[in-house]
Chain A
Amino acid sequence: MSLSIKDDEIDIVIGALRPDLTSFMNEWRTIFSRFHLIIVKDPDLKEELKIPEGFNLDVYKKPDIDRVVGTSTSTIFSGYSCRYFGYLVSRKKYIISVDDDCYPAKDNKGILVDAVAQHITNLTTPATPFFFNTLYDPFTEGADFVRGYPFSLRSGVQCALSCGLWLNLADYDAPTQALKPEERNSRYVDAVLTVPARTLMPISGINIAFNREVIGPALLPSLRLGGEGKFRWETMEDIWSGMCVKVVCDHLGHGVKTGMPYVWRNDRGDAIASLRKEWEGVKLMEEVVPFFQSVRLSREAKTTEDCVAEVANVVKEQLGSKDPMFARAAKAMVDWVKLWKSVGSST
C-alpha cells in the first residue's frame, strides 16, 4: 500500500443483493477490516441482512435511501444499482466496490491477493493512455517504459478508474456461459495496463475502484433492461455506466487501467435460465458501442458533471427515439447529475 494514502481516504462499497453476508465478510476480513465500509442493501431484498461483527461500517437500507433521496427516486437503486447509493453518500477520495459473491483470489504463487491494495496502487500511479507500453504498466516494480516510448509522455496522467478481473466465474454474458457451461477462468495474468485513449471496452462493475473526487458523478445508475434481474447476466447497467465513464475520462484526460487485481467469483445462478429471462441486453450493445464510439464532447465540458450532462443529451437526441429504454436512461443521467450536486457533493 502506498505510504501516502491513509486508510481513511478509502471507502469500500458493497451492494448486498443477498441477505447473508457472513461468509463474504469473513473471507474478506483480513483485507477489509482496517477500512470503513458502506453496505447498501438492495431495496427489493426483503430479508434482514446478516453481517458479522468486527467491521467499521455503515449500512443503508430502503428506509435510509428513501430518506436521503425520496421514495420516488429510490427505485433507481434497485438490484446491482444499489451500490451507486453508496458512491453517492460516501465522502472519501477512493472507492472500491466488489460484488457480494466474490471472494479474495490467490495469485500464481498461491498468495492471497489484496485487491484493495492493488486497486489503490493502480489509482495512485499514473496511467499512460496516449501511447501503448508493450511491457504493460511501466510504474510496476521491475518494469519501465520500453525503447521508442516518447519521453514527453512518460509522466502519464491521473488514473481515475481501476478495473479488476475475475478468476473462476468470469464476467461472460449469458449466451457465452450457456454455450460453455463448464468454462472457468483459471488464467492469472500478472499485468495492469492502461486502456488507450479513445479505446472503449466493457467495464464490469463486479470488481472496480475509482477516484471519487475526480469522476464520482460519472459512475451512475441509468440504463435498466426490461427484464433486469439479480444476476449479472441479467444486467447491462455497469457496461453502460462504464462506457460513459470512459468517454468522460478520455475527454478530460484521465486514465483507466485494467488487469489486476483478480477476485474469485463464486458460481451462482444458471446462465440458461438468465438467458431465457433476459436476452435483449446482448442485442443492445450493437447500438450502444458505435454510439459511444462516435460521441464527442464539447470544449466547454470541463467538469465531470458537465460531461455527463452532455452525454445524456446526446443519448436523448440520438438513441432516445430508437428505444424508450434509452430515453429513460438519458433522463436518469440528467437526474443523477442533479442528485449528485445536491447529495453527492461534499458539504
Chain B
Amino acid sequence: MAEPATATQAAAPAVPQLKDELDIVIPTIRNLDFLEMWRPFFQPYHLIIVQDGDPSKTIKVPDGFDYELYNRNDINRILGPKASCISFKDSACRCFGYMVSKKKYIFTIDDDCFVAKDPSGKAINALEQHIKNLLSPSTPFFFNTLYDPFRDGADFVRGYPFSLREGVPTAVSHGLWLNIPDYDAPTQLVKPLERNTRFVDAVLTIPKGTLFPMCGMNLAFDRELIGPAMYFGLMGDGQPIGRYDDMWAGWCTKVVCDHLGLGVKTGLPYIYHSKASNPFVNLRKEYKGIFWQEEIIPFFQQTVLPKDCTTVQKCYIELAKQVKEKLSKVDPYFDKLAEAMVTWIEAWDELNPTGSSVTNGKAK
C-alpha cells in the first residue's frame, strides 16, 4: 500500500464489463501520462477528456485510447451562452463531460490518481469495482452491519427485514484514496505528512437522510438515473470559491437520491492519490467554503422536495429555487449558482433530448 501498482502489474480483465455503456471522464490541464498505468483497465473504454485552462495548449493523449477531447472553445461553441454554467480554470469543468456523454454510466478520475494495490499486493481495477457497485443494489433504508450484503462472502444480518432485502438501484459509487487523503486545507496544514495507509475492505450504502462529502477524484455514477444532479457548480476563475465543486454536486445528488429512492455507495475501490496540492493555495480557494458550509449543510439537511418532483431534472430545478430563496442571504454567489443550476438543466435537456424526462425512481 506504500506505493502504487506498476503498469505491468495491472492485469486486464478477461471481459471488460459495460465496455460500450460507460464513458471515462477526465479533466486535465497538464498531461495524461497517468493513463499509461491504467491502460490495461481503461483501454477498452471510451474517454471524454475535458481540457481545463488555456485552450491553445495541446494535451497529448497516449496512443491506443479512443477519446473525444473538449477545450474551452469547444464548450463555448457547443453550449453558446449556456456555457456560463461551466466553470473555467477549475476541474469542475468535468461535468461538461457528463453532459455530452451518450452512455449510461460515467466513471470520473483525476489525472494524479494511479492504480493502488490491495493488501495482498494485487493491482486494484477500480473501474471493475465501481461497475460491481453500480450493478448491485443499495440498501439505504436500514443499515447492514456487515456492510454491502451483495458482496461475495457477506449477507444481510439477523434482524434485517426481508422486505428490504431487494434494495434499490445504485446511482452513485464513491471510491476512496490511499496515500494522499482528501483533506481540506486546514487539516493539510496541520498534518502535512499524514498518509492514508488503511485499506478498509468494505463497500457500504450511505443511509437515507444522511449527507456526506462526495469527492470527485474517484467516482462513478449511473448517468441515466442521476446525471442531471451531478452539476459541479461555479468554481475557479471569477468565482469566490474553489474545491467545493464535488461537494456541492454530492449534497445535491444525495438529496435527490434520497427523494427518488436511489442508493449511494461508498468505500471500495481505492485508487492511489499521488499528488498533494499546495495547502496555502487550497486554503485561499476553500476559505469561504469553510464558513459557508456551516449554512449549506443545514440547508441540505432540511430540504424537502415536493412529491410532484418525479424526475431528477424537476428535483434539481426545485433545489435551485430553494438555494435562491434560502442561501442568497449567505452570499450573492448563491444567487448566481442557483441560476447556473437552472442553466445547467436547460443545457442538459438540450444535449440529451430523448428520454431525459423519464421518471426516475419513486418520489417519497
What is the interface of chain A, defined by CB distance below 8 A to chain B?
108, 131-136, 140, 142-153, 163, 165, 170-173, 176, 180, 183, 185-191, 195-204, 232-233, 236, 239, 242, 258, 282, 285-286, 288-289
Contact = CB atoms under 8 A, between A and B. Distances in A.
Given A204-B157, A258-B145, A147 B213 contact: yes
A329 to B, nearest CB: 15
Given A131-B297, A183-B155, A199-B207, A190 B182 contact: no
B163 A286 contact: yes
A145 B187 contact: yes
B277 to A, nearest CB: 11
Q: Which 7 residue pairs are nearest across A and B when measured between Cβ atoms? A: A202-B159, A148-B213, A201-B143, A239-B159, A132-B212, A199-B207, A196-B210
A133 B201 CA distance: 16
6 contacts: A131-B210, A131-B211, A134-B174, A140-B198, A201-B144, A204-B157
Interface in B133-148: 142-147
A171 B161 contact: no
Nearest to B250: A148
B270 to A, nearest CB: 11
B280 interface: no
Interface stretch (B62-70, B101-109, B189-197, B343-351): B189-197
Q: Give the interface SS of chain B, mostly helix, strand, loop or mixed.
A: loop
Q: Give the interface SS of chain A, mostly helix, strand, loop or mixed.
A: loop
Query: Of residues B200, B206, B250, which shows the largest number of chain A Cβ atoms within 10 Å of its Cβ?
Result: B200
B237 interface: no
Contact of A134 (B144, B147, B160, B215): B215
A136 B200 contact: yes
A323 to B, nearest CB: 16
Contacts of A134: 174, 176, 182, 212-213, 215, 266
B153 A183 contact: yes
Given A135-B176, A147-B213, A200 B202 contact: no
A176 B182 contact: no
A288 B162 CA distance: 12
Contacts of A196: 207, 209-210
Contact of B158 (A133, A149, A197, A232): A232
B293 interface: yes
Contacts of A132: 206, 210-213, 266
A227 B206 CA distance: 35
Given A146-B181, A173-B156, A176-B155, 6 more contacts: A131-B210, A173-B160, A189-B202, A203-B145, A203-B159, A204-B157
Contact of B196 (A142, A189, A199, A239): A142
A191 B212 CA distance: 17
B244 interface: yes
Query: Of residues B156, B163, B247, B293, which shows the largest number of chain A Cβ atoms within 10 Å of its Cβ?
Result: B293
B198 A163 contact: no
A150 B145 contact: no
B243 interface: yes
Contact of A142 (B155, B156, B198): B198
Query: Of residues A108, A134, A191, which shows the largest number of chain B Cβ atoms within 10 Å of its Cβ?
Result: A134
Contacts of B150: none
B296 to A, nearest CB: 8
Contacts of A236: 158-159
